Chain A
Amino acid sequence: MRAGMSAENTILSVEHLTMRFGGLAAIDDLSLAVPAGKITGVIGPNGAGKTTFFNCLTGFYKPTEGVVSLNHPTRGALRLADLPSHQVAHVAQVVRTFQNIRLFPKMTVLENLIVAQHNALQKASGFSLAGILGLPSYRKAEQQAVAKAVDWLTRLNLIDKADTPAGALPYGTQRRVEIARALCVDPLLLCLDEPAAGLNPRESGELNELLLRLVADAKLTILLIEHDMSVVMNVSDHICVLNYGRKIAEGTPKQIQNDPNVIKAYLGEEDADELLHAEVSA
């Protein structure tokens, strides 16, 4: 456990977060500190509240109780739940991807990445006035935006797909495009919701490398929901396990793998039959 971690190293602190839908507590009194510049995995059985947790972080839900606070290097501590939902990405620089890919399918990959830079470009276009007149200041801003998009596309090995409509790409490639698009928003904290879902073993191996490279090169923090244990266990520095909205364990991958609570949550009670079943399917 990293209880002694100092406040400067924590980019996101979640305290007593609760999200209730009627009588159901999808998240129940969750507290978590996400270390900066690391990959934190969030795992748990289906319905454990992982995606609800992301929705609370990124402004899609307003939490019933609790505080989610982002330690922004220049803007200080930001309470994410108090920001209008679009400012979570724009001001707090917390950007997410979706479990079921949400690209703009008819627009090309490059356009998808340019849309991600909307706020900066909209400002540069003088809220369309300078843009309509085609002023050089806007043209320069657009060129910079394209350069940034091309840079990420090159780094993610997508550059030859730049002019293809995003919806026409294979599933695994769409996942990468969605990550590239999120990166164009300049995230401090990148929340990936099951990025390896639907990827084949080779692709998820590439995803591992990509995530490790991003943390090393781009100085960002990644929060990762994932079912694919080959991804979570290999890339996470720190793992938090949820079950029925509660945190049941937290620690390094090794600690999590040996935690009796986690084994119980995933495999049920220590029943000889079920353990046998788990061994067979593993």
Chain B
Amino acid sequence: MSPLVFANNAPTLAERCKDAAGIALIALLLGIPMIGLTTADQGGSLQVLTRWPLLGAFVAAAFCGRLALRYGLDMLKQRRQTRDREAAARPGKRGVRSIRILELTGWLAFGIALVLPILFSDNRYVVDTATTVLIYVMLGWGLNVVVGLAGLLDLGHAAFYAVGAYAYALLSTQFGWGFWTALPVAGLTAAVFGLALGWPSLRLRGDYLAIVTLGFGEIIRVVLTNWTDLSGGPNGISSIPRPTFFGLPFVPSSDTGTFASFFGLEFSPMHRIIFLYYVILLLSLLTNVLVKRLRRLPIGRAWEAMREDEIACKALGMNITNVKLSAFALGAMLGGVAGVFFAARQGFISPESFTFNESAIILAIVVLGGMGSQLGVVLASVVLVLLPELGRDFAEYRMLLFGAAMILIMVWRPGGILSHREPTLRHQPAGEQA
């Protein structure tokens, strides 16, 4: 058999050849029946023919391929080791650089998000897709509080998304509330549902909590499907009013003036699309600032501490009930706000939009992005929304590619795309410690 080859004591050429010869031998044994022998129809009877040159080529390819693969892997391993050694030699410096890069990436993403609808003002598809990405960013940031910071595995986040959407749909269609007045009310409603989920599951953790949240998500969906009087059942709620620009609707003509007529512009359906894009951008930026600030406050540190060790928190006199419920309530509220936006953008909602699949995607965004990382959520949302879009050309292989890509990302970075955790406060400025 081929000997194991370790990178740190680089193998000699003879060792490499021996290793490759072992592989070539296996290739030969496999190749004799599979390639070397073949059958052909000759005058009605089946005859066995041999293809030795082809087999020879196959074995040679296996030999060379093994040499190249082994060499390539060893090089990679050595490079990684040198890099790790260098990093260990000056930890501070590398830390500072990576933080700088992260900050820069964040601002870059913000800049792109800001100018994107201007650059693509005539391309509805791009702006629409970007709006979808931002909805997922916002949902991801909401769930990140619960899963990433507080460490509570929540498989039912779509429930709060649904509560927010239905709260707005009902408030606007039944009571004529506007988007901006309904937004905080729907958010608070979702927060109350968050408390309703958090309260009975206070003692649960990990897998058990996941099951309860999964059930909760299904309960909300099933209730919405069956309580026809309230939610319209499977038909959902349609003709939900679209948000207006300070009272100016985005329609071709209206008695009270429209957005286009007020600003003396020619009517274009793109105005509303772009306006919606900036609304969700604003909402997600507010979310980002809120969550970032909370993380540096006692409550945020308490969330993280609870994720790390709940018993230690108790021993330090922390009221775990409050810490847990606040995480649930805040996460639910942010999900609810995203739901309000979703309902206003679509104009139509039904229980179909809030299935378990949705919860799974939001959770995938948080895990893929790197638990607790704000920028990671953005990158993961882009990946998860764009991959299926880009994969449209592959038709039926689309979801296969999507799954393969997710597996590859998790193999490449098991902690998520960005697993770096920046301390909430430092004794010495970053990089000054030895």
**Chain B residues with CB under 8 A of A88:** 317
Cα–Cα distance between A96 and B312 once the two chains are bound (Å): 9
The docked-state distance in angstroms from the alpha carbon of A84 to that of B320 is: 11
Contacts A111-B301, A146-B425, A162-B428 given; indicate if A103 touches B317 (C-beta within 8 A). Answer: no
Give which listed residue, A118, A153, A165, contacts B317 with CB less than 8 A.
A118
Q: Is B209 an interface residue (CB 8 A)?
A: no
Complex: how many Å from CA A132 to CA B425? 15
Number of cross-chain contacts by CB at 8 Å? 122
Whether A118 touches B312, Cβ cut-off 8 Å, given contacts A87-B317, A111-B424, is no
* B425 proximity list for chain A (CB < 8 A): 110-111, 114, 142, 146
Residue A71 at the chain B interface, CB threshold 8 Å: no
Find chain B residues with CB under 8 A from A102 CB.
309, 311-312, 315
Take A122-B302, A132-B293, A132-B294 as given contacts and tell me if A89 and B316 are in contact as well, using a CB distance cutoff of 8 Å. yes
Q: Does A86 contact B (CB under 8 A)?
A: yes
A95 & B297 in contact (Cβ 8 Å cutoff) = no
Are A106 and B315 closer than 8 Å at their CB atoms? no
Interface presence of B426 (CB below 8 A) = yes
Kindly state the separation between the CA atoms of A119 and B283 in the bound complex, as whole angstroms.
Answer: 31
Answer whether residue B290 sits at the interface, using C-beta atoms and an 8 A cutoff: yes
Known: A96-B315, A98-B315. A131 touches B297 (CB 8 A): yes
Does B421 sit at the interface, judged by CB under 8 A?
Answer: yes
B residues near A90, Cβ cutoff 8 Å: 317, 319
B325 to chain A minimum Cβ distance, whole angstroms, is 13
A interface residues, how many (CB within 8 angstroms)? 49
Interface string of A68-90 (1 = CB under 8 A from B): 00000000000000001111111
What is the distance, in angstroms, from B94's C-beta to the closest C-beta of chain A? Answer: 14
Chain B residues 158-175 with CB under 8 Å of chain A are: none
* Cα distance, A181 to B313, chains bound together (Å): 11
> In this assembly, does B37 line the interface, its C-beta being within 8 Å of a C-beta of chain A?
no
Residue B427 contacts which of A106, A128, A162 (CB distance < 8 angstroms)? A162
B299 at the interface (CB under 8 A from A): yes
Shortest CB distance B320–A (Å): 7
A273 close to chain B: CB less than 8 A? no
Supposing A86-B317, A146-B425, A162-B427 touch, asked if A103 and B298 sit within 8 A by C-beta, the answer is: no
Closest chain A CB from B257 CB (angstroms): 38
Considering only residues 279-312 of chain B, those with a C-beta below 8 Å from chain A are: 290, 293-294, 297-299, 301-302, 304-305, 308-309, 311-312
Do A118 and B298 form a contact, CB below 8 Å, given A86-B320, A111-B423, A162-B428?
yes
Are B316 and A115 within 8 A (Cβ)? Answer: yes
Given A89-B316, A160-B433, A163-B426, check contact A107 B305 (CB 8 Å).
yes
Hey, which chain B residues are within 8 Å of A107, CB to CB?
301, 304-305, 308, 423
Contacting residues, chain A, for B421 (C-beta < 8 A)? 106, 165
- Say if the beta carbon of B80 comes within 8 Å of chain A: no
Selected contact of A115 from candidates B293, B305, B427, CB within 8 Å: B305
Check if A185 sits within 8 Å of B301, measured CB to CB: no
Give the Cβ gap from B16 to chain A, nearest Cβ, in Å: 38
Contacts of B311 in A (CB 8 A): 60, 98, 102
The CA-CA distance from A127 to B294 in the complex, in Å, is 11
Instruction: Indicate with 1 or 0, residue by residue over A88-122, a CB within 8 angstroms of chain B CB atoms.
Output: 11110001101000111111101110111011011
Q: Please measure, in the bound complex, the distance between the C-alpha atom of A129 and the C-alpha atom of B375, giving whole angstroms.
A: 25
Partner of B293, one of A104, A131, A160: A131
Contacts of A153 in B (CB 8 A): 427
Complex contacts, A119 vs chain B, CB 8 Å? 317-318
Query: Chain A residue with minimal CB distance to B318?
Result: A118
Instruction: Select from chain B the residue with minimum beta-carbon distance to A124.
Output: B298
Least Cβ–Cβ distance between A129 and chain B, in angstroms: 10
Residues of B within 8 A of A84 (CB): 319
Query: Contacts of B297 on A, CB cut-off 8 Å?
Result: 125, 128, 131-132
Question: Which of A86, A98, A110, A160 has a CB less than 8 Å from the CB of B318?
Answer: A86
* CB of A139, distance to nearest CB on chain B (Å): 11
Interface centre among B290, B298, B313, B424 (most CB of A within 10 A): B298
Q: How far does the alpha carbon of A125 sit from the alpha carbon of B428 in the complex, in Å?
A: 23
Is A150 an interface residue, CB under 8 A from the partner? yes
- Closest Cβ of chain B to A149, distance in Å, is 8
**How does the 8 Å CB contact mask read for A141-182 relative to B, with 1 for contact and 0 for none?**
010001000100100000110110100000000000000011
Known contacts A84-B319, A106-B421, A146-B425; can you find 9 more A-B pairs with CB under 8 A? Answer: A60-B314, A103-B308, A103-B312, A107-B305, A118-B298, A125-B299, A127-B299, A162-B427, A163-B427
4 shortest A-B CB distances, which residue pairs?
A89-B317, A90-B317, A162-B427, A104-B308
Chain A residues at the B interface, C-beta cutoff of 8 Å: 58-60, 84-91, 95-96, 98, 102-108, 110-112, 114-116, 118-119, 121-122, 125, 127-128, 131-132, 134, 142, 146, 150, 153, 159-160, 162-163, 165, 181-182, 185
Binding site for A on B (CB under 8 A): 290, 293-294, 297-299, 301-302, 304-305, 308-309, 311-320, 421, 423-428, 430, 433
A-B residue pairs in contact (CB < 8 Å), sample of 26: A60-B314, A86-B314, A86-B318, A88-B317, A90-B317, A90-B319, A96-B315, A98-B311, A98-B312, A104-B309, A104-B312, A105-B308, A106-B421, A107-B301, A110-B425, A110-B426, A111-B423, A114-B298, A125-B298, A125-B299, A127-B299, A128-B298, A128-B299, A142-B425, A159-B427, A163-B427
